[in-house]
Amino acid sequence: MTFEYAPAPESRSIVDIKAKYGHFIDGKFVTGKNHFATINPATEEVLSQLALGGASDVDKAVAAAQKAYTKTWSKLSGKERGKYLYRIARILQERAREFAVLETLDNGKPIRETRDIDIPLVAAHFFYHAGWADKLDYAGLGKSPQPHGVAGQIIPWNFPLLMLAWKVAPALATGNTVVLKPAETTSLTALLFAQVCQEAELPDGVVNIVTGDGSTGSAIVKHPGIHKIAFTGSTEVGKKIARAIAGTEKKATLELGGKGANVVFDDAPIDEAVEGIVNGIFFNQGHVCCAGSRLILQEGIADEFIEKLKVRMSKIRVGDPLDKNTDLGAINSREQLLKIQELAGVGDSEGAERWSPACNLSAKGFWFAPTIFTGVTQAHRIAREEIFGPVLSILTFRTPQEAIEKANNTPFGLSAGVWSEKGSRILWATQQLRAGVVWANTFNKFDPASPFGGYKESGWGREGGKHGLSAYLKEGK
C-alpha cells in the first residue's frame, strides 16, 4: 500500500506584491526605469516588474550611503547601532511567514525550507551581529577598529534574503552603510526588507537597494564612492570583480562556487550517512555553493549504499514549493535549468550512468528530478564543474589516502563532509581536506557565529563570526 499525502499548500494571501517596483534610495522607494519581469519559477506566473538600475541610480544610492555614513551612522555609538539591528531582527521574526511565502514564490524553494531554515537564519544573523556592535573595541580586532565607509554588496538568487542578511548585518554592526543589489530573478524579499528598514526607523541612506542585472552590479563595483565590495555568486563574475578592483584601495570578500566532497568511510552509520548525503545535495534544489555534489564512497559499501540512497531518493517529494510536504521545489530559472540539463547530458555522453526516481514533473515551470550519476571518474566534467542543481556525482575509493586525494582534486575548496564512526579518522580526514568548512557526520549546518568561505577558486575571505566582522573593519588610528 502506498501512503499518499493530501495537498497542504501554504496560503499566499499574506503577501502583497505590487505590480511594479523601483529602487530604495535614501530611505524612500523611488521610481526606476527599464522594467523587467520577476516570475514564480514553479508556474512561470509574472509576479512583478523590477527596475533595471543604471549608473545614475547607483550614483544616487552611493551618494545617499555616503551622506548617511558621515552624517549619522558613523557618529552613532556601537550600542545605538546595535539597537537598530535588534529592532530589524525582531521585525523579521514578526513578519517571518510573509517573508517565507514571498521567498518561496519568487525563488521556487520549498516553504518548509524558507520557513524553517532561510528566514530563522536571517533573523539569527541580525541578532548575532546586533550583539557585536558595542563590543568591537574589545574583540581582538585591533584598537578601536574603524568601518570602511560605503559597502557595495552583490548577492545571488539561491538564498536571496539570507545572503542579504549575511552582508547587511555585519556591515551595519561595524558602522558601514550599504548599497545592495539583489539578483535579477529574486529581488522581492530584498524590497520587502527595505520596508523593514523603514519600520525600524533606520536612518535614511544607511541601507540602499538598487535592483538590476550584471551591468548594475558592475556599476556598483566600479563606483569610486564604494570602499568595500562583498560578493556572492559565480566564480566567473568573482574573477571579473577581482580584475575590476585590482590596483584600487577597495577591499573585497568573494564567496564563489564549490564542488564539495562528501567522503563516506566503510565504518560510517549507513542510514544516517544516506540522510546526510540527501540533505547535502538535494537541499535547496542543489542550488547551494557548499552542496555536497560529489559523493566519495568506500568501495566495500558502495553497492549497499547506492541501493539505500535510491530507496531514500524515491521518497523525495518534488512539486509545488508552497506545499508544506514538498522536499524539492522548482529550479530558479530557465537559464539554470538549461545549464543543469546540459551538464547532465555531458555526464551521459562521457559514460557515467544516470538514475532518477520516477517523478511527475509539471509541464509549466522549471523542474529537474533528483539525480545521481554512478561510474563517475575524476576526468568527467560532472566530477569537476559546479552543476548547481539536484545532481550528485558518485566516485569510489579504496584507501583513506585515495579518498583525500580525490576530494581535494578540484579547483574549488568551499566545503567537505566526512562520515565515519571513528573519531581519530574524522580528525585525520578533516585536517587533510582543503575546504573552508568541513562537516563531520552531518552536512549543511549554518550558524552566524561560524566563519564561512573558501580556498582557491571558491573565493576570498570569510563571512560570519569574528572573521566575517574583520572584513568590514580597518585599523583604528
Active site residues: 255, 289
Write each residue from 378 to 417 as x if it is in contact with ligand NAI (CB under 6 A), else as -, in one continuous string: --------x-x-----------------------------
User: Cα dihedral sign for 436, 441, 445, 447?
Assistant: negative
Residue 213 binds: one of ligand NAI, Mg ion, none (C-beta under 5 to 8 A by kind): ligand NAI
57 binds Mg ion (CB under 5 A): no
174 belongs to the binding site for Mg ion (CB under 5 A): no
Question: Taking the complex as a whole, how short is the minimal distance between the CB of residue 223 and ligand NAI, in angstroms?
Answer: 11
Q: Which of 185, 284, 298, 371 binds Mg ion (CB under 5 A)?
A: 185
Closer to ligand NAI by Cβ: residue 167 or 181: 181
Residue 377: name its binding partner from Mg ion, ligand NAI, none (Cβ under 5 to 8 Å by kind).
none
Task: Output the smallest distance, CB 74 to Mg ion, in A.
Answer: 35
Residue 114 binds ligand NAI, judged by CB under 6 A:
no
**Closest approach of ligand NAI to the CB of residue 287, in Å:** 7
Shortest Cβ contact with ligand NAI: which residue? 217
User: Is there binding between residue 217 and ligand NAI (CB under 6 A)?
Assistant: yes
Stretch that binds ligand NAI, among 89-97, 131-139, 234-242, 371-379 (CB under 6 A): 234-242
| Residue 454 binding ligand NAI, by CB under 6 A | no
Stretch that binds Mg ion, among 31-39, 191-199, 209-217, 267-275 (CB under 5 A): 31-39
Q: Does 245 bind ligand NAI (CB under 6 A)?
A: no
Q: Tell me if 38 contacts Mg ion by CB under 5 A.
A: yes
Residue 336 as a binder of ligand NAI (CB under 6 A): the answer is yes
Residue 153 binding Mg ion, by CB under 5 A: no
232 binding partner (options ligand NAI, Mg ion, none; Cβ < 5 to 8 Å by kind) = ligand NAI
Q: Binding partner of residue 214 among Mg ion, ligand NAI, none, CB under 5 to 8 Å per kind?
A: ligand NAI
Please choose, out of 92-100, 236-244, 360-368, 439-447, the segment that lies near ligand NAI by the rule CB under 6 A. 236-244
106 binds, among Mg ion, ligand NAI, none (CB under 5 to 8 A by kind): Mg ion
3-class SS letters over the chain: CCCCCCCCECCCCCCCCCCECCEEECCEEECCCCCEEEEECCCCEEEEEECCCCHHHHHHHHHHHHHHHHHCHHHCCHHHHHHHHHHHHHHHHHCHHHHHHHHHHHHCCCHHHHHHHHHHHHHHHHHHHHHHCCCHHHCCCCCCCEECCEEEEECCCCCHHHHHHHHHHHHHHCCCEEEEECCCCCCHHHHHHHHHHHHCCCCCCCEEECCCCHHHHHHHHHCCCCCEEEEECCHHHHHHHHHHHCCCCCEEEEECCCCCEEEECCCCCHHHHHHHHHHHHHHHHHCCCCCCCEEEEEHHHHHHHHHHHHHHHCCCCECCCCECCCCECCCCCHHHHHHHHHHHHHHHHCCCEEECCCCCCCCCCCCCCCEEEECCCCCCHHHHCCCCCCEEEEEEECCHHHHHHHHHCCCCCCEEEEECCCHHHHHHHHHHCCCCEEEECCCCCCCCCCCECCCHHHEECCECHHHHHHCCEECCC
Nearer to ligand NAI, 159 or 419 (CB): 159
From the list Mg ion, ligand NAI, none, partner contacted by residue 237 (C-beta under 5 to 8 A by kind): ligand NAI
What is the contact surface with ligand NAI in residues (CB under 6 A)?
Answer: 154-158, 181, 183-184, 213-214, 217-218, 221, 232-234, 237, 240-241, 256-257, 289, 336, 339, 386, 388
What is the contact surface with Mg ion in residues (CB under 5 A)?
Answer: 38, 106, 185
